Amino acid sequence: MPMTSVSVSILTHDRPRELLECVNSLIEQTVLPKEIIIVDNSSKNMSDVLSKIVDQVKRKSIQIKIVKGRDPYSVPIGRNQGLEAVSCEFVLICDDDVIFDKHYIETMLKTFKKYPQFIGLQGSTLSKSHNRRSLFLFVYWSLLKVFFLSRVDPLEQKVLPSGFVTMTSAKGETPTNAEWLISNNMMFKTQLIKKFRFDEIMIRYVDIDFTFRINKAYPNSLGIVKDAKIIDKHMSIKVRDQTKIITGFLFSHTYFFFKNLKKRPYELLAFSISRFGFLIIKGLIPLFLHRNSKEFLSCLKALLFSSYFCLIALKNRPQIKP
């Protein structure tokens, strides 16, 4: 395995234009990856754009592997297929709707060299700046904090006692420590994460579960790099069934909580408070604001369904590697 060689594993699903833009940003890096692995989870025929990508990548003398996804609707299965194909010292795992700054790989490799204690690093997302402040936003963010729900935090990227998470951005030259990383862009020392796999039972929370387990095995080994920039286009697959979306999210969160946290009394209390808060923020508030009971009923049904499915999943869960 050559020193400082980089594999890139991209999981794609029915987004040919975004995939092409992502790959174009990778083949224009100041330090090129040795190989690009595309796991094709598409339900549509992507042969035309994949053929074009293969030609472009090969012209840069970069190896390329196209792997057909085993399940077009499973992110963790696709991620594992990508990891199985990796052959380099470092692996960059990313989504297909991300555009990388041309210095991204170079910056990440320099950071790994300068701070060898880190096993995994995440870059920083460029976002539109806005200074909108309002009483509504203040109340909204305050409620998220009170109910132990996921939110942006100025200081920490960690897993809360409830199993929900906080997200933050890097603060300075030294990587900001994190308990978990975002899968739209995360780079690892391949050899040290080979024993880990994405949990194929999960629907959401896939990246949180994977990286949180790494951080538990290697404490303080994950970080966020300020100068490794990406643009995340935040594309999504449209699903009309809100109950199905919320159920998938709550199932994954509940499964993650009971699988990874120690379930101490204050954690169980925080988990219960977060469930109550989720129902208020996602169900009751829209009910009063919009006079529409659909969102409330979707939340209520999702809470019940997710708990039931989670009990079955935990009972029948196969042994997952660390």
- What are 70-111's pLDDT values in tens digits? 998 899 999 999 999 999 999 999 999 999 999 999 999 999
Q: Give mean pLDDT, residues 169-195.
A: 93
Domain-embedded: residue 242? no
**CATH no. for residue 73?**
3.90.550.10
Task: Specify the range with the lowest mean pLDDT, choosing from 127-136, 172-181, 245-254.
Answer: 127-136
CA separation, residue 231 to residues 99, 170, 228 (Å): 5, 15, 11
Asked, for residue 297, whether it belongs to a domain, the answer is: no
Distance of CA 94 to the CA centre of its chain: 9
The highest-confidence range among 67-76, 232-241, 278-287, by mean pLDDT, is: 67-76
Residue 1 forms part of a structural domain: no
Return d(Cα 247, Cα 299) in angstroms, integer: 8
Between CA 108 and CA 17 the distance in angstroms is 26
Residue 23 lies in a domain: yes
Q: What is the mean pLDDT of the chain?
A: 88
**What is the CB neighbour count within 10 angstroms for residue 104?**
27
Q: Which domain holds residue 220?
A: 6-128+166-232
Q: How many domains does the chain have?
A: 1
Check residue 21 and give its pLDDT: 95
The answer to whether position 284 is within a domain reads no
261: in domain? no
Residue 100 counted as domain residue = yes
Q: What is the pTM of this model?
A: 0.89
Other beta carbons within 10 Å of 45: 9
Q: Is it the case that residue 226 has pLDDT exceeding 80?
A: yes
| Residue among 132, 162, 152 nearest 250 (CA) | 162
Rounded to an integer, what distance in angstroms lies between the CA atom of residue 157 and that of residue 206? Answer: 16
Tell me if 180 is assigned to some domain: yes
Query: Is a pLDDT exceeding 70 seen at residue 306?
Result: yes
What is the token pair recorded at 195? 């024993």
Helix, strand and coil in the chain, % to nearest 5: 45, 20, 40
Distance CA(31)–CA(41), nearest Å, equals: 28
Sorting pLDDT into bands at 50, 70 and 90, what band is 180?
Answer: very high
